[in-house]
Amino acid sequence: MPFDTLYVVLVLPTVLFALWAQFMVKSSFKKYSKQRTNNGLTGADAALHVLRQAGIDNVRIERIHGNLTDHFDPRDNVIRLSDSVHDAPSVAAVGVAAHEAGHAVQYSASYVPMKIRSAIIPVTSIGSQMAMPIVLLGIVFSFPGLINIGILLFGAVVLFQLITLPVEFNASRRAISALRETGLLTAEELPASKKVLTAAALTYVGALAVSLAQMLRLIMMTRRR
């Protein structure tokens, strides 16, 4: 099967799905950013409440520039919330912030998938940068061993994204549960926050699908050669 056909058949459909997922999360966030919380709760407030409910008092909450650049950094023990989330009193902002606080709770509770993901980050960083160059060198110099090393490194990237799925879904479950149990959002507001988090989860599914397709294409391409 020709190289271009491999890409069209294996990779392109997953790329289109990933693009659709990115569109969905942006459109969902934009839609529910217009729905204000009844109690005036902001993203930063929500993150703080989720942390307190879990008995965590050593995690900082900071503002970071950008849109949907929110993340939890376990190295600095800080939740960074974007401009559109930190001070925004919307159900979308509250959902995203609670999700990031859910990651902090995972880290504090030594959630196993979170620990595994953190442990393989160094290998993943190398794999994402070096896998393709190593495979290409192996092809150019007809060195199967080098090709296999490159594929293994790319496999580490796929493994990282695979482990990321339960981490992200679990953080969202923790977030929705905390928002419900503390009464931070009403029964009418919770579904909107859940829709934003579900859309966000699809982006991770899309990323995994693209990587799996790329790896299969890589294996088929190198084995043919």
Does residue 100 carry a catalytic annotation? yes
Residue in 100, 168, 188, 189 annotated catalytic: 100
Closest of 1, 11, 5 to residue 216, by C-alpha: 11
Distance CA 178, CA 182 (A): 6
Question: What is d(CA 73, CA 100) in angstroms, rounded to the nearest whole number?
Answer: 9
Say how far apart CA 173 and CA 180 lie, in whole Å. Answer: 11
Helix (H) or strand (E) holding 129: helix 112-140
Pairing relationship of beta strands 60-64 and 78-82 according to DSSP bridges: parallel
Q: Where are the beta strands (DSSP E) in 83-168?
A: none
| CA nearest to 61, candidates 75, 80, 42 | 80
The CA distance from 177 to 102, in Å, is 10
Separation of alpha carbons 24 and 195, rounded Å: 10
Say how far apart CA 17 and CA 203 lie, in whole Å. Answer: 9
Give the catalytic positions in this structure. Answer: 100
